[in-house]
Structure 1
Amino acid sequence: MNLRLIAIGAGVLIILSLPLAGAIAGPDFAGQGDGKGGGLLSSLGLSGPARPPDAAARAAARAASPGPAEQPRTDSRCGPELTAPQGLEAQTCVLEGDGQTWGRSYYRNTSGRPLDAVLTVMGPAGRTVQIRCAVGPGDEPGLCETPREESVGAPDGYSAVAEFAVPDDEGRLLLRSGSNSPAPREG
């Protein structure tokens, strides 16, 4: 058994020493000492085609370049997190970034039934964007978001409101969440 282990170890050493032997051998065995190819690795067919000298510089430049482009900054103004006794939590925000403004409402619907949400963003000069979202039941958080529109006027001129209602109960309102809602008072 020890003889087998020694034979395996010797084989591994031979395989690992091939690159070192190629580096030491230099030009190929045919005596073509032109420096363009050769060496033990190319004679065994283990090395790829020679790279032009500038290819290494280009590869190094690519490796040094930064990753993906930096994402534009997004600012948000959010109202408080609100909870309805029927099992609904929500928070509504106005987001601004890259010259655009939009609304987003984060929610969690543990009521056990599907709900409807209407998210409205109101902006300067009477500009309004509205979207309806289906809010499925479950413990996983979800979001409802309006399309992004080009920003007009000051950022504080925008507000958003999300209204969550029961669809089969004549639209009975369960929760209204706003981006600039005052925090609930204690006491």
Structure 2
Amino acid sequence: ATAFLRHATSKILTTRDLFNVHSLGFRGEALASIAAVADVTLTTATDAGIGAKIHVKGGQVESQTTAAHRRGTDVEVSDLFFNTPARLKYMKSQQTELGKIVDIVSRLALANPKIAFTVSHDGNMMVRTAGQGDLRQTLAGIYGLPVARSMVDFQAEDLDFKVSGLTSLPETTRASRNYL
């Protein structure tokens, strides 16, 4: 339940630990904020096998059990803002909000190809990356295999910098400037 406490982390026990955190950041604030206004289930394990599953709704722990789970963490969020109807008023359409979520997760996946990301909505897979560290494979999980296959590798370096990545050809276009 520590993951859902505000400003809490299990990653830092001493001040020296501040220099050894190699993750995406602290969950404490984000998970606590989301769990306060949604129905959240977190399932996690450090090694394949037995892990933990916690269900929090409206900031209250509903259940906490052991669970069979692969290595890693899954966070499922549903009924966002169920207990704060005033917030629902200020949200755009469901499709607009889903688009924003997909955009944020896609950016995180591209910046962190060694981490697997999945976004599904009403049974439809929106984003699914493998987390194998392969940028082209990550692109396939976001934009589809044909787009990923059409990307061109590039690499440049000088004395101080080295840049590498994938770029699209001019004929690979999307309706929005946010994509490719």
TM-score with structure 2 length normalisation?
A: 0.26
**Bigger RCO of structures 1 and 2 (CA < 8 A, at least 6 apart):** 1
Structure with bigger strand share is 1
TM-score with structure 1 length normalisation?
A: 0.25
Q: Based on CA coordinates, which of the two structures has the bigger radius of gyration?
A: 1
Structure with bigger helix share is 2
